[in-house]
């Protein structure tokens, strides 16, 4: 299964990608995670990307397309994959096609802007195993400590209020057009992303069937 998770920042793409990946036994390819790892490791890519992430802007298409091409050629992607946060522009979607990648399904998580702001303001992430929490809807058992690996949880750099609003603006302007692009291709399944996390997973898995 070659799957894209589409939706605004904070819609739950990362949360659902981890759950669906476990069910399907396929890897998650998250360009956001790849970029954050590059920034942490102070690589050339990280230095290039940091300003864009901090400002809530998209990293240029040529860089993202290069990352996608390299990652999807790796052996673990041979049996399928979940794309989380990519493609994010029509150019990136076209590049995927040019690479010969035939996407089976695009799950579109629908969440309104007010809910997004509340979710991202309360998000905590594990810098080590990448588990995702929310201080109200998905809290860790011990405050600020990862349930999975025990690391101290962090707030993402781009989860500041002003950056959240800019990321939403960028989503509506540059990424939302992908909904009609994949709808025309008959691949889009829009689901309500506002329910309980388990309910959203159920809807997503059901959308893979139909
Ligand atoms: P990226 O890392 O992809 O971030 P994003 O799209 O902004 O999405 P998020 O990771 O913020 O949210 P999510 O949808 O995964 O939600 P989550 O599951 O964490 O990109 C970051 C940056 O990298 C971009 O701004 C850009 O600069 C750059 N970049 C990356 N890819 C790029 C590309 N292709 N092209 C150009 N630039 C690119 O959930 C959010 C919170 O909500 C959590 O606290 C979670 O616990 C909670 N939550 C989840 N589901 C529910 C639920 N059902 N109910 C209640 N709470 C919930």
CA–CA dist 70, 94 (Å, integer): 16
Catalytically active residues, by annotation: 13, 88, 123, 156, 167
Looking at residue 116, what is its pLDDT? 95
For residue 108, give the 3-state DSSP assignment.
strand
Looking at residue 122, what is its pLDDT? 94
HSE of 10 in the Cβ direction (CA atoms, 13 Å)?
A: 29
Q: Nearest C-alpha to atom 55 of ligand 1 is from which residue?
A: 137
For the Cβ of 71 lying below 6 angstroms from any atom of ligand 1, the answer is no
CA–CA dist 48, 25 (Å, integer): 32
- Omega of the bond prior to 141 within 30 degrees of 0, cis? no
Looking at residue 200, what is its pLDDT? 98
Enter the tokens of residue 16: 């659902």
Q: Nearest C-alpha to atom 6 of ligand 1 is from which residue?
A: 9
For the Cβ of 8 lying below 6 angstroms from any atom of ligand 1, the answer is no
Which ligand 1 atom minimizes the distance to the CA of 195? Answer: 53
Arithmetic mean of pLDDT, 17-43: 96
pLDDT digits (tens, 9 = 90+) for 106-144: 999 999 999 999 999 999 999 999 999 999 989 999 999
Whether pTM > 0.75 for this model: the answer is yes
Distance 168 CA to ligand 1 centre (A): 11
Distances (CA, A) of 147 to 21, 46, 47, 87, 132: 19, 28, 31, 31, 10
CA–CA dist 28, 43 (Å, integer): 22
Torsions phi, psi for 195 (to 5 deg) = -75, -175
């Amino acid at each position: 299964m070659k799957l894209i998770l589409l939706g605004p920042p904070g819609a739950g793409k990362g949360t659902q990608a981890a759950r669906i990946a476990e069910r399907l036994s396929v890897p998650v390819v998250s360009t956001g995670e790849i970029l954050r790892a590059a920034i942490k490791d102070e690589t050339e890519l990280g230095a290039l990307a940091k300003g864009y992430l901090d400002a809530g802007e998209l990293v240029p298409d040529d860089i993202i397309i290069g990352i996608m091409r390299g990652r999807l050629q790796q052996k673990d992607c041979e049996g399928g994959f979940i794309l989380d946060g990519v493609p994010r522009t029509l150019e990136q979607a076209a590049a995927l096609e040019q690479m010969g990648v035939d996407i089976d399904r695009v799950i579109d998580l629908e969440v309104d802007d007010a809910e997004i702001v509340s979710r991202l303001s309360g998000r905590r992430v594990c810098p080590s195993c990448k588990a995702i929490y929310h201080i109200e809807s998905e809290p860790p058992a011990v405050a600020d400590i990862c349930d999975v690996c025990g690391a101290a949880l962090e707030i993402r750099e781009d989860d500041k209020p002003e950056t959240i609003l800019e990321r939403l603006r960028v989503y509506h302007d540059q990424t939302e057009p992908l909904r009609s692009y994949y709808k025309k291709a008959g691949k889009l399944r829009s689901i309500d992303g506002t329910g309980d996390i388990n309910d959203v997973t159920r809807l997503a898995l059901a959308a893979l069937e139909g």
